[in-house]
Chain A
C-alpha cells in the first residue's frame, strides 16, 4: 500500500464541505462500509471506493436525551438506503416525534460560531415531506 495522501476522515469531511454524504463501498465485501477506513473490514482488501449517497434513509433507533441543563434533543441511528448505518439526529420536528421507521433526508449541518476554529460540518437528517 502506497503512503496515503489523505485520511478517511479528511476525505469524508471534504465530501461534506461539498454538500455530499460520502461513504465507502468494498467490492470484495460487496457492501457499503461506514465509518470510512483505510482497508475493508473482514476481507482486509485495499479496495474501498468512495461513493455519494442519495441521502435518503430510515430511522432505525431513536432516543431523546434529557440533559440536566438545556433542552432535550434527539439522537438516532439512521439506516441509509445504500446499506450503511450512521449516528445522527432528526431536525425540524420535536425530538419526541422521531420514530423508528421514519423516512428521513440528509443535509449538512455547519456548526455555528467562530469561523477561525474551522469546525467540521456534519450530517443531520430531516423528515421526508409527505411520509
Chain B
C-alpha cells in the first residue's frame, strides 16, 4: 500500500476470545475485551501500554466509542473502519500507518460477535436496497452463489471441486482443538447437504458461531525487544470494487488481484514465497477465487488446483490451517482470525497443524459480497 514501509510494524500478540458458543448474555464488547486481555498477555504487555484502539463489529454502531469506554482509555487513537470481514486486514494497514506517524505506539485490533447466540439477522441487519431487496436474495449466499455460477460457466469448475475446499478445511479443523467442527466431512456430505442458494449447500457456507479476538501491534524496534518473536508486516493492499453484487465489475475476477498486487509489491515478494495462506473462506468459491487472484494458479484453474486434497493437511499447499470459516469459527466478520492463525504459524505455535518452515504468510480478507478485498503479508525476522 502506498506510503507504508515494509517491516516497519509487527504483530506481537494474538489471541481468540471465547469462541464457538459463548456464555449467555456475553456482549460483543465483552469478547473484544477478553481478546485484548489475552493478546496483551501473549505480548507481555498490559492495558496501560495501549494507546491505539482499532475495532469493528456488526453489533455496535459506534464500536470504538463503546470499547474505549469499556476499557477506560479516553485518550487513545481510534479507528473503527468497517467494510465487512476484511476490516481487520485494513486495520493492520491503518495501524501500521498510525505507528509510523507516531499517532500511537501500541495498537490493539479487536473483534467480537455473539452472532450464534443472538441470531444472524439480529447480529447483522441487512440494509434495504431498493434495487435488490424486492427479489429476496438470501444475502450474502445468493451473491456468492452467482459468482460461483459464473465460474462454473466460464471455466468448467464443478460442484465436486468446490466441495474439495470444504473437505480440506474440515481436514485442517480436525487438527485444531478449538475448531467448531469435530467430525470428518466427505465430498458427498457436501453435495448432499441442504440446498441454500444454487450451487451451494449449507456445507459450502461458513459456520454461524460466536467469537472474537485481538492482535497487538507495535513498531518494529519495540517489537524486537519483546518476549516472543515478532511477526512483521511486510505488505498491505486493498481494493473495494463494489458494495452490492450487481455492481461487481466481473464476477470471476475479484479485487484480490489489485490488493494482492499492492501487498506483493510492498513486500517485494510473490506468491511462491508464501509458506502459509489464510484466505477468507466464507464460501467454498472464495478459496478458489483467491488462489487464482493472488497468483497461486492461473485464472480459471482454481477448481482443478484444489482437487485431490491439494489444499488439505496432506496436500501441497497449506491453506486455512485453522479449519477456516468453513469449519473452525465464523462469527460474521472472520478477518481477525486469519491474522491470528498466520501469527501462530509464523511463530511455530500450531502443534499438529504446524507447517514446517512457516516464515511467511499471506492473509487475505474479504468483506461484503466479494466487495472489500484486503491483503496482508506477514513474515518472521528471517523473512525481512
Residues in chain A within 8 A of chain B (CB atoms) = 9, 34-35, 60-67, 72-73, 75-77, 85-89, 96, 100, 111, 120, 122
Per-position binary interface string of chain B over residues 177-207, scored 1 when its CB falls under 8 Å from any chain A CB and 0 otherwise: 0000000000000000011111100000000
Partner of B246, one of A66, A87, A89, A100: A87
Q: In the bound complex, do residue B138 and residue A61 qualify as a contact, i.e. CB atoms below 8 Å apart? A: no
A88 to chain B, nearest CB (A): 6
List of A residues within 8 angstroms of B138 by Cβ: 65, 67
List of A residues within 8 angstroms of B344 by Cβ: none
With A61-B251, A86-B246, A87-B246 already in contact, the answer to whether A100 and B150 are too (CB < 8 A) is yes
B158 within 8 A of A: no
Residues in chain B within 8 A of chain A (CB atoms) = 130-132, 134-138, 142, 145-147, 149-150, 153, 194-199, 244-247, 251
B374 to chain A, nearest CB (A): 22
Q: In the bound complex, do residue B142 and residue A65 qualify as a contact, i.e. CB atoms below 8 Å apart? A: yes
B201 to chain A, nearest CB (A): 9
Q: In the bound complex, do residue A77 and residue B130 qualify as a contact, i.e. CB atoms below 8 Å apart? A: no
Q: How far is the CA of A117 from the CA of B245 in the complex (A)?
A: 29
Q: In the bound complex, do residue B149 and residue A35 qualify as a contact, i.e. CB atoms below 8 Å apart? A: no
List of B residues within 8 angstroms of A67 by Cβ: 138
Q: In the bound complex, do residue A87 and residue B137 qualify as a contact, i.e. CB atoms below 8 Å apart? A: yes
Closest B-chain residue to A73, C-beta based? B136
Q: In the bound complex, do residue A100 and residue B149 qualify as a contact, i.e. CB atoms below 8 Å apart? A: yes
Q: How far is the CA of A34 from the CA of B149 in the complex (A)?
A: 22
Q: How far is the CA of A73 from the CA of B145 in the complex (A)?
A: 14
A20 to chain B, nearest CB (A): 16
B258 to chain A, nearest CB (A): 16
Closest B-chain residue to A88, C-beta based? B135
List of B residues within 8 angstroms of A9 by Cβ: 130
Q: How far is the CA of A89 from the CA of B134 in the complex (A)?
A: 10
Q: In the bound complex, do residue B146 and residue A61 qualify as a contact, i.e. CB atoms below 8 Å apart? A: yes
Q: How far is the CA of A100 from the CA of B246 in the complex (A)?
A: 15
B254 to chain A, nearest CB (A): 14
What are 19 A-to-B residue pairs whose CB atoms are below 8 Å?
A35-B246, A61-B146, A61-B149, A63-B146, A63-B197, A64-B195, A64-B197, A65-B136, A65-B138, A66-B196, A75-B146, A77-B245, A77-B251, A87-B246, A89-B135, A100-B150, A100-B153, A120-B130, A122-B134
Q: In the bound complex, do residue B135 and residue A61 qualify as a contact, i.e. CB atoms below 8 Å apart? A: no
Closest A-chain residue to B196, C-beta based? A66
Closest A-chain residue to B150, C-beta based? A61
Q: In the bound complex, do residue B134 and residue A111 qualify as a contact, i.e. CB atoms below 8 Å apart? A: yes
Q: In the bound complex, do residue B195 and residue A66 qualify as a contact, i.e. CB atoms below 8 Å apart? A: yes
List of B residues within 8 angstroms of A86 by Cβ: 131, 246
List of A residues within 8 angstroms of B142 by Cβ: 63, 65, 75
A42 to chain B, nearest CB (A): 12
List of A residues within 8 angstroms of B198 by Cβ: 63-64, 66, 96
Closest A-chain residue to B134, C-beta based? A122
Closest B-chain residue to A121, C-beta based? B134
Q: In the bound complex, do residue A61 and residue B137 qualify as a contact, i.e. CB atoms below 8 Å apart? A: no
List of B residues within 8 angstroms of A122 by Cβ: 130, 134-135
Closest A-chain residue to B154, C-beta based? A100
Partner of A75, one of B135, B244, B247: B135
Q: In the bound complex, do residue A87 and residue B130 qualify as a contact, i.e. CB atoms below 8 Å apart? A: no
List of B residues within 8 angstroms of A96 by Cβ: 198
Give 7 nearest A-B pairs by CB, closest first.
Answer: A61-B146, A63-B145, A66-B195, A64-B198, A122-B134, A35-B131, A87-B132
Closest A-chain residue to B246, C-beta based? A87
List of B residues within 8 angstroms of A111 by Cβ: 134
Q: How far is the CA of A72 from the CA of B247 in the complex (A)?
A: 25
Q: In the bound complex, do residue A63 and residue B149 qualify as a contact, i.e. CB atoms below 8 Å apart? A: yes
List of A residues within 8 angstroms of B135 by Cβ: 75, 87-89, 122
With A77-B245, A87-B246 already in contact, the answer to whether A61 and B147 are too (CB < 8 A) is yes
Q: How far is the CA of A76 from the CA of B149 in the complex (A)?
A: 10
Partner of A66, one of B137, B197, B247: B197
A63, A67, A72, A76 — most chain B CB neighbours (10 Å) = A63
